[in-house]
Structure 1
Amino acid sequence: MTAVTLQDVGLAVKRLQWQHHRSANTHLSAIGLSLAQWDVLRHLHAQPDASLHALAVLTFQTDQSMGTLAGRMIDRGLIERVAAPGRAVRHRLTEEGERLRREGAEVVDRVMKHTLGALTPDELTTLHRLLLKADPGDLI
């Protein structure tokens, strides 16, 4: 049996992530969200009053793309801008944003259950621990 290479593992992680993103986007569209929008709602729930830059970092976007996305989400009434000390602008979920965050979480949980749900609780814990151990933060 051939040993598993680092590239094999990297590809398997990427393939699973791609499947999750594709399926989540498809199923979230039924409630009027994209995965990127739901991710913003999720992070704002966890970190109320987050700045645009913080949201960009948390959602793996550039500041510019996060600004565009936030503008569309503000127009839809999902998030709102909140004045902060100085020139800072923070963001917060609206009631509609919170409702869709909860509904989206159920959708994403169903998507994940089709793949990660095949693991036992111990396997899931081990996978999580190993992925965290392998994450060096910023590469290079």
Structure 2
Amino acid sequence: MTDTAFPTTGYLAWQFSQVLAGMLERALRTEDLTLAQHNALMHTVRSPGVTAADIARRSGITAQSMGTAVGRLVERGLLRREPHPTSRRSMCLFVTDQGRPVAARAAMITRRIEAETTAPLSPEDKDIVHRLLYRIVEELNPEALSGVAEERAS
């Protein structure tokens, strides 16, 4: 493959992310969740006490958009806010009892969509793609993986 080869790896990754995001967006409607709300809910499940600003940085979403997403989840009773122990300007987020089953169903939806979108790959290829993408994200946006190392160790 040459430097001028088309489609480029970046273009293919972007196309895949667009397909994946579209499928997730449609599937998450059953839970009345947007992609930003889904990110907020899942990051809060993985990292109780996380702030909306932390989730925005991890997700690559603007703080304003994440604030709107979190606000809607709080209104629905899926998340609750508590004062941050050291910052008067920040609030910590926690999943509520009402939010846990929604998060569990959303996680099942995510796994189903991932299985559908990676169906053309063998299990070995899926593992290779996963490891390569992990390395790239770990290098370019390590904050996106916050909480993952702790989760893998347990």
Question: What is the number of equivalent residue pairs in this alignment?
Answer: 137
CA RMSD of aligned residues (A): 2.0
1:73 CA drift (Å): 1.2
Residue 123 of structure 1, aligned match among 122, 125, 132: 125
Unaligned runs of 5+ in 1: none
Cross-structure match for 2:59: 59
Residue identity over aligned pairs, in percent, reads: 26
The CA deviation string for residues 46-79 of structure 1, in whole angstroms up to 9 with x for no partner, is 1100012101112211222211221111111111
Query: Which of the numbers 109, 128, 140 marks the counterpart of 1:137?
Result: 140
TM-score (norm: length of structure 2): 0.79
List structure 1 segments (4+ residues) > 6 angstroms apart after TM superposition: none
Q: Normalising by the residue count of structure 1, what TM-score does the alignment of the two structures yield?
A: 0.86
Counterparts in 2 of 1:7 and 1:118: CA distance versus 1, 3 Å = closer
Structure 2: gaps (5+ residues):
142-154
Distance in 1 between residues matched to 2:12 and 2:64, nearest whole Å? 30
- In the TM superposition, residue 31 of structure 1 has moved relative to its aligned partner by 2.0
For residue 37 of structure 1, report the CA deviation from its aligned partner: 1.1
Alpha carbons 1:41, 1:98 under 8 Å: kept: no
| 1:91 partner SS | strand
CA displacement at 1:133 relative to structure 2: 3.1
